[in-house]
Amino acid sequence: MRIALVHSDFIEYEPKKKALKSAEEIKKELKRIEDCLVILTSVEKGDETDFEGIADQGVAEIEAVAEQLGTKNIVLYPWVHLSDDPSRPDVGLRVIKAMEKTLLSKDYTVTRAPFGWYKAFDLKCKGHPLSELSRRITTEDVSSEAKKEIASTIV
């Protein structure tokens, strides 16, 4: 999975047209979220073997950055264009929904932009040193985290 994390004054988006036949059914309306951490997200083919682990690792990365920035306001924005090898749409949606559920359970305010839609959007980045970051999360990262957890449990 690839994510771009943008600490933003605001993001405003409006779904325009379905990009996939299987796109979520939504109410087409303009949304604006202020003072947030926008997570542009692209789930990749290689993530399909452990999509739950990928989702958990994605949440860990988001939490680490959100903590540094002092924000609990998260926008999950599906953006397939970060990858040249995207996952199947059903897997992408499952990963993003899993991330949303986990973040909500940890007391984050989460807005999830609709999956499978062309959207018009405006984004205003805050422009400080940590305001634009990117991460690539792979199944190898997930395996490394699992090994660390097992080692700390044994000790």
The distance in angstroms from the start CA to the end CA of the chain is 31
pLDDT digits (tens, 9 = 90+) for 28-52: 999 999 999 999 999 999 999 999 9
Residues in the chain: 155
Write down the mean pLDDT value for the chain: 92
Domain spanning 2-147, CATH architecture: 3-Layer(bba) Sandwich (3.50)
Q: What is the pLDDT of residues 80-122, one digit of tens each?
A: 999 999 999 999 999 999 999 999 999 999 999 999 999 999 9
What pLDDT was estimated at residue 143?
56
Q: How far apart are CA 23 and CA 128, in angstroms?
A: 35
- Written in H, E and C, the secondary structure of 102-116 is HHHHCCCEEEECCCC
Short-list 24, 7, 45, 3, CA closest to 123: 7
The domains of the chain are located at 2-147
pTM exceeds 0.85 for this model: yes
pLDDT of 75 > 60? The answer is yes
